[in-house]
């Protein structure tokens, strides 16, 4: 799916209007058109990739640099003291726009992100095996 123009590409290019709050060489941020709360902001890499794991290190670093700054600005502008940062990957994970984006969602008493969280438990042997598999994948990727 990556590489196809998305609605966010068109917003970045200025073909579709948005309430822009920030832009640099790699990052664009604007208000969500259907906010869950006042100040709901989307932070988007200019690199057109659908999923977080596809991003270049350069884009990832730029997003990482901009996100906390944008969170501080959203808190200051809205008066919120709590917020969620949400980043969905894949339609099964509630991703609607196939262009990487981070939601900054201020949390007020009623407004904001609702979370369904249903934890299971991690068994010792299975955890050891899984952590090893993830470490192996990281080692493989860095070769």
Would you count residue 85 as binding ligand 5GP (CB under 6 A)? no
Q: H-helix or E-strand containing 45?
A: strand 41-45
Q: Catalytic residue, from 40, 99, 101, 103: name it.
A: 101
18 in contact with ligand 5GP (CB under 6 A)? yes
SS (H, E, C) 5-51: CCHHHHHHCCCCCCCEEEECCCEEEEECCCCCCCCCEEEEECCCCCC
Q: Maximum Cα–Cα distance for the chain, whole Å?
A: 53
Cβ of residue 64: shortest distance to ligand 5GP, in angstroms?
A: 18
CB of 93 to ligand 5GP, least distance (A): 8
Smallest gap from Cβ 89 to ligand 5GP, in A, equals 9
Least separation in angstroms between residue 32's CB and ligand 5GP is 5
Would you count residue 54 as binding ligand 5GP (CB under 6 A)?
Answer: no
Whole-angstrom distance, CA of residue 48 vs CA of residue 6: 8
Segment interacting with ligand 5GP, rule: CB under 6 A, options 24-32, 45-53, 55-63, 118-126 = 24-32
Residue 69 Cα distances to 21, 41, 104, angstroms = 12, 12, 11
| First and final C-alpha spacing in the chain | 26
Active site residue 26: no
Give the catalytic positions in this structure.
101
Binding site for ligand 5GP (CB under 6 A): 7, 16, 18, 30-34, 42, 88, 94-97
């Amino acid at each position: 799916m990556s590489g196809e123009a998305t609605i966010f590409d068109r917003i970045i290019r200025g073909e579709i209007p948005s309430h822009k709050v920030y832009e640099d060489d790699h990052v664009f941020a604007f208000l969500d058109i259907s906010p869950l709360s006042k100040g709901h902001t989307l932070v988007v890499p200019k690199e057109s990739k659908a999923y977080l794991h596809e991003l270049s290190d350069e884009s990832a670093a730029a997003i990482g640099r901009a996100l906390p700054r944008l969170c501080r600005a959203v808190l200051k502008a809205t008066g919120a003291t709590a917020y969620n940062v949400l980043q969905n990957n894949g339609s099964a994970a509630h991703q609607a726009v196939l262009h990487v984006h981070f939601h900054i969602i201020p949390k007020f008493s009623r407004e904001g992100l609702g979370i369904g969280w249903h934890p299971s438990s991690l068994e010792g042997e299975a955890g050891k095996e899984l952590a090893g598999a993830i470490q192996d994948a990281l080692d493989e990727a860095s070769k």
